[in-house]
Amino acid sequence: MIATVVEMMSHIFIQRAVLVGTLISLCAALLGVSLVLKRYSMIGDGLSHVGFGIMTCATAFGYATPLYIAIPGVTISAIILLKIGNNHRIKSDSAIALISSTALAIGVAVTSVTTGMNTDVCNFMFGSILAMSQADVILSVAVSIIVTILFVIYYRKLFVVTFDENFAKASGLKSDRYTTIIAVLTALIIVIGMRMMGVMLISSIIIFPALTSMRIFKSFKRVVISSGIVSVVSFLLGIYLSYLYNISTGATIVLVNLVFFILFTIVEKIIHE
Amino acid sequence: MDLIQIKDLCFSYPTKKDTLKHINLNIESGSFTCIVGENGSGKSTLLKCILGLNEDYTGNIIKEKNIGYLPQKSDIQTNFPATIEEVVLSGTISNHPSKIFYTKSDKEEAKQVMEKLNIYNIRKQCFADLSGGQQQRVLIARALCATKDIIILDEPTNGLDPSIAKQIYELLDKIKREENITILMVSHDIERALNYADKVIEIINGEVKFIGKPSEFKMGGAK
């Protein structure tokens, strides 16, 4: 195994993928706890579809670094999505479905009249560790560090807002501001992560670690820490197995996450018996 | 001294006009006030206006002190993965909102409140694993960490067994007597509210129809 890891890590593109993937997995898991508990699990899915729409359009029009357009685009969508969700006439899950399907439709329509379903589009859909350029790596590391620092700074407030939004408001916290921060940070992680994980799979690294950790741990702090660990370990195991058996990296990471979810569920059953 | 003064308060929801109509009332320091009335009369809406959760009202609400709040049970995620200690400690958030971590004084405050409410020994237990009565006790502790002046409770005994509901009323009465903390609560349980409150406010169709002592309410109320 060590020899395989050494051989694997001799490739520059894998070094980049390990660095970026570890940071993204950690950030996605941290944000995932609040998103799952606030019943915003599907926001990752919706935003990744928006990211797909923007990235395919940018690629079709010959823009060399679509990530730079996708980041502000998806961030603005996250804010719009929350605003629509707060409108009592449209529920938040409907708002996510509305925006995500529209963005996906625009992406597919533009692709079909321009480049067609080429390798770039397939990479956006299912992810590719080859897709990370050095510029992407620098951007990803910077964004991941910002997300982690902001999460630590706002940890106490995120707990209060996630547990009981009315109490947070009554205590003078601007709860809408913190919900927006979560959505914006999620948007950033989604855009960066979808290059490697793919549009179809990125939301799983947000949802799985939190749900897995909640099977066993009954304290918010432990759930957060466990989610981070489960997510990073799943990523590292996933990329190793994907290299070993030549399977799609994004899909392997999701399947490893599933295995952890099943294991934690079994442990939970044993503990309760 | 009045901790809360409400003058000519009117509020409408987009789907329900005139939910509150020209409300005028004061909440005195050290009082135990119960707001009673039928479902949909505007009791909880009034609390939400006082707390700033409903903002688009007309009229004036003057609040002198920090408020501790216990929301309706349906507003709380009862299966949330958090320990009792985490929930109670979160009540201190308004004491030092700009700090990244809880301070020593926040932790000491939470410890003292948990000891008073007999939940310190079970502080590591999960909030979700507690009974309804114990969960309310934890949320009262959280409210007490937020203020030393006034706590507002929205139907705290809803869905509880009568014996547990009695314990919650006794606990609130003790807090009022020993800590001199003002209690303002909405309750469906008129009979028990009359036993413990020293002031009753009755709201019917968004209007205050009665303000006075429980003994006066028993003699006639608004009816």
> Which residue of A88, A171, A221 is in closest CB contact with B93?
A171
Is the pLDDT reported for residue A93 higher than 70?
A: yes
Residue B119's contacts (CB-CB under 8 Å, 6 or more residues apart) are B84, B88, B134, B137, B138, B141
Tell me which CATH code domain B1-65+181-223 carries. 3.40.50.300
The predicted-structure confidence for A243-258, as pLDDT tens digits, reads as follows 999 888 888 999 999 9
Q: Distance (Å, rounded) from C-alpha A86 to C-alpha B76?
A: 18
The predicted-structure confidence for B77-126, as pLDDT tens digits, reads as follows 778 899 999 999 999 998 887 888 899 999 999 999 999 888 999 999 99
Is B97 touching A (CB cutoff 8 A)? yes
A-chain residues near B136 (CB < 8 A)? none
Would you kindly state where each structural domain of chain A is located, as residue ranges? 2-268
Mean pLDDT over A183-198 rounds to: 86
Mean pLDDT over B36-55 rounds to: 89
Is the pLDDT reported for residue B221 higher than 60?
A: no
A-chain residues near B94 (CB < 8 A)? 171-173
pLDDT above 70 coverage of chain B, percent:
99
Domain A2-268 has CATH 1.10.3470.10: yes
In this predicted structure, what is the pLDDT of residue B216? 87
pLDDT bracket for residue B191 (50, 70, 90):
confident
Q: Distance (Å, rounded) from C-alpha A129 to C-alpha A120?
A: 12
pLDDT bracket for residue A86 (50, 70, 90):
low
pLDDT bracket for residue A212 (50, 70, 90):
very high
Please, what is the average pLDDT of chain B?
A: 88
B-chain residues near A173 (CB < 8 A)? 93-94, 97
Is B71 touching A (CB cutoff 8 A)? yes
Please identify among residues 6-25 of chain B the ones whose CB lies closer than 8 Å to any CB of chain A: 14
B76/A164 touch (CB, cutoff 8 Å), yes or no:
yes
Cβ atoms of residues A196 and A129 within 8 Å = yes
Is the pLDDT reported for residue B147 higher than 80?
A: yes
A156/B90 touch (CB, cutoff 8 Å), yes or no:
yes
B86/A159 touch (CB, cutoff 8 Å), yes or no:
yes
> Which residue of B80, B100, B102 is in closest CB contact with A163?
B80
ipTM of the prediction: 0.88
What value, to the nearest 5°, has the Cα angle with vertex B37 and ends B34 and B41?
Answer: 125
pLDDT bracket for residue A62 (50, 70, 90):
confident
In this predicted structure, what is the pLDDT of residue A87? 64
The predicted-structure confidence for A113-172, as pLDDT tens digits, reads as follows 876 666 667 777 777 777 677 887 888 899 899 999 999 999 999 999 999 988 998 888
Is B83 touching A (CB cutoff 8 A)? yes
A-chain residues near B52 (CB < 8 A)? 169-170
Would you kindly state where each structural domain of chain B is located, as residue ranges? 1-65+181-223, 67-148
pLDDT bracket for residue A198 (50, 70, 90):
confident
pLDDT bracket for residue B223 (50, 70, 90):
very low
Residue A245's contacts (CB-CB under 8 Å, 6 or more residues apart) are A252
Mutate to test the interface with B, among A41, A166, A171 (most CBs of B within 10 A): A171
Is the pLDDT reported for residue B43 higher than 70?
A: yes
- Please state the φ and ψ torsions of residue B13, each to the nearest 5 degrees: -85, 155
H helices, E strands: number in chain A: 13, 0
Q: Distance (Å, rounded) from C-alpha B208 to C-alpha B195?
A: 21
Is B103 touching A (CB cutoff 8 A)? no
Is B69 touching A (CB cutoff 8 A)? yes
Mean pLDDT over B11-29 rounds to: 88
E strand or H helix at B185, and its extent?
strand B182-186
Is the pLDDT reported for residue B11 higher than 80?
A: yes
